[in-house]
Chain A
């Protein structure tokens, strides 16, 4: 796909979601192009059991390589890193991953806030964060950090979310750069450029 002059610079894309976000991911993933120039990190609230279920499910829908984020693993372009259940996922200055078993944030571990905040400091204006459907307010504080560091804040249109509370809180609390319907997200991601 041709790059437009206005396309958004992206060194890393972080997607956060909770209840109702899986449907969106399953809609996005089959339509992503396979040579994305940046890594994607997914922080999705889920139970600690059934570890590989989400990985397998997404891997079956995309040509991108999907795996659970491993401790000290380096973020590499074109790969999808899933924050492991029951650990927070942080990004280091050298683009490696640190896992963290500290207190839950917003009753959640992994917490979307934690990953958004730490990525915001590392990637600054070259970070793009997308917040999807969910029924708590995790992610909102994180998006404020992303905003402060000049990154791009993208929020799912609450009207298209199965659980609109989370994107609604984000729209109220943070000035989004873009509000997207779920069916426009794959195109949006494909047009980000490193």
Chain B
């Protein structure tokens, strides 16, 4: 598959269509990466022409669902970057544990792996009962998967290694039951989760949180949109609350960054 099939002008046409017809705004996404995803989908689904591709995306609601799912990156894993979860377990969540109630927002939760990881850590710290995890994504179909709490069994070896490296103390298999090729996670974990669609580009703040996790979402946005989303988060984090980003993301160039203090080596900042 070669990235020659669709040019920049066509990408722009398509993204304008998507905004006008479906209300999803991808115009401030990093161009190279969204172009790659569009080109990939075009090749994958064997369209004979760009015109046909464009028409299908505009007019076929069912296909647009697929477009949305394929164009947004949904690759994630449980306990991704174990040292990050170690810092949550040791430095962040015990502090939040002193609060009467903990509200957490997992923004761009995709299929839910990070929300479930977080719930496991909360459970082990005896904090899950007084916590609520709001897991949101732009994409309704990944949320359907997230709600089910079932992940492919063949990933579980990696996940349990991550879990142990992150400071997990139990036998990871106590959290799920294997069902053919899927591992179904304990329902006490998602009993404390609220799943909802939320579009970081166009939707507003909907609550105040002590912790916001948004990992590997902002890398797909241009600088300006990143700053808009930081402002949205800023308006949604309580004083002394935390913001956690992906390992290659940073608050550094955002004008209000000086109002946040970095927690040790991880990409976690505390609002001052």
Contacts and interface: CB of A to CB of B under 8 A. Distances in A.
B8 A99 contact: no
B264 interface: no
A50 to B, nearest CB: 13
Contacts of B220: 98, 100
Contact of A100 (B1, B8, B36): B36
Contact of A118 (B36, B75, B219, B223): B36
A91 B36 CA distance: 11
Interface stretch (B27-35, B59-67, B92-100, B230-238): B27-35
Contact of B219 (A99, A121, A141): A99
Contacts of B75: 101-103
Contacts of A121: 3-4
Q: Is the interface of A mostly helix, strand, loop or mixed?
A: mixed
Contact of B249 (A71, A91, A98): A71
Given A100-B219, A101-B219, A148 B32 contact: no
B4 A114 contact: no
Chain A, interface residues (CB within 8 Å), range:
20 to 34
A114 B220 CA distance: 15
Interface string B82-105: 000000000000000000000000
A91 B32 contact: yes
Interface-centre pick from A91, A101, A102 (highest chain B CB count, 10 A): A101
Interface string B15-49: 00000000000000011110011000000000000
Given A144-B2, A145-B3, A99 B248 contact: yes
A70 B31 contact: no
A121 B33 CA distance: 13
B246 interface: yes
Interface residues of B, number: 22
Given A72-B223, A102-B75, A117 B2 contact: yes
B182 interface: no
B73 interface: yes
Nearest to A102: B73
Contacts of B4: 121, 145, 148-149
Contacts of A98: 30-33, 219-220
B73 A90 contact: no
A120 B33 CA distance: 14
Interface-centre pick from B36, B219, B246 (highest chain A CB count, 10 A): B36
Contacts of B216: 101
A84 interface: yes
14 contacts: A90-B32, A93-B31, A98-B31, A98-B32, A99-B219, A100-B36, A101-B75, A101-B219, A102-B75, A114-B36, A117-B2, A118-B32, A121-B3, A145-B2
Interface of B: 1-4, 8, 30-33, 36-37, 73, 75, 216, 219-220, 222-223, 246, 248-250
Given A99-B248, A100-B219, 5 more contacts: A71-B219, A71-B250, A90-B32, A93-B31, A148-B4
